[in-house]
Structure 1
Amino acid sequence: MQNIRLRTATDVLAAIPALLGFVPVNSVVMIALTGSPVTLAFVARTDVIGADAATHYRVAFEQAAVTSVIWVVVGAGPVAAAGLDQIEAAQRELDSMGIRSVRTLVAESLEIGAEWFDITGEESGRTADPILSEVSMNRIMSGRQ
């Protein structure tokens, strides 16, 4: 298996459709990480409205020995605000399990050229073409769609 390195927030955002198998909209995506060096444990997606990310994945966190997460909200305006509220509630649960948040990204969509920002305000940009992401290309070269 080839190691794929996601070095930037743009890389992470471009990889999400290939990791999930579809392009999420109006969603909260959680990228669960484990180990040292950090590796991907699993990726999960929930609806922005009416979901509770942390509660549904408690067993998976424990089985995969998750140590940290990257949160991504896909949506704009009220959707983004609701997604951030969901993350805040979920992160309180994760804090009690010793799982820390590495970063939280908000993207209006994952289509090429969509605006995104890190909630710390330190980084922002535009999304890359997810079809050309390293993860997507790896799946294609492996014979998977």
Structure 2
Amino acid sequence: MLQKVSLFVVAAFLCITVRAQYTVKLVLDAIPPKHPDDAMYLMGEYNQWTPNDPNSQFVKDATGKWTMTAENVPANMYEIKVTRGTKETVECMGDGKPMDNRKVTVNSDTTFHLTVAGWTDDFPKQTTYLNRKVVPSSAR
């Protein structure tokens, strides 16, 4: 009988471990100063890259930093970006160049600290030609 109970406890533990879900907090430690009061959102694979998902909206905490907490997040690697509510206002490099998606790995309760260097709409649109030169649209 004791052996059956032990086996049940081990099986139950394995099920809990496999289905583990975590609490994830994201903190925007710094954002460009031009849009300090615009709404901030997180978008990624997890929400089909929806730029203004109300379930992924940051809120300002008591210190004035933008934060977001997600509960019951499955362990996984996620690709994400910060946006001000549209795909045209997504984060970019500090010089206006596009940036790769951020990759975060969740395997425990954790906090991710992010810095947004720039917003795409704060820079002139750029066109890439076949010879790979990038010319700002304002220069054409």
Is TM (by shorter chain) over 0.5?
Answer: no
Greater strand proportion: 2
Higher Rg: 2
**Normalised by the size of structure 2, how large is the TM-score?**
0.26
Greater helix proportion: 1
**Normalised by the size of structure 1, how large is the TM-score?**
0.26
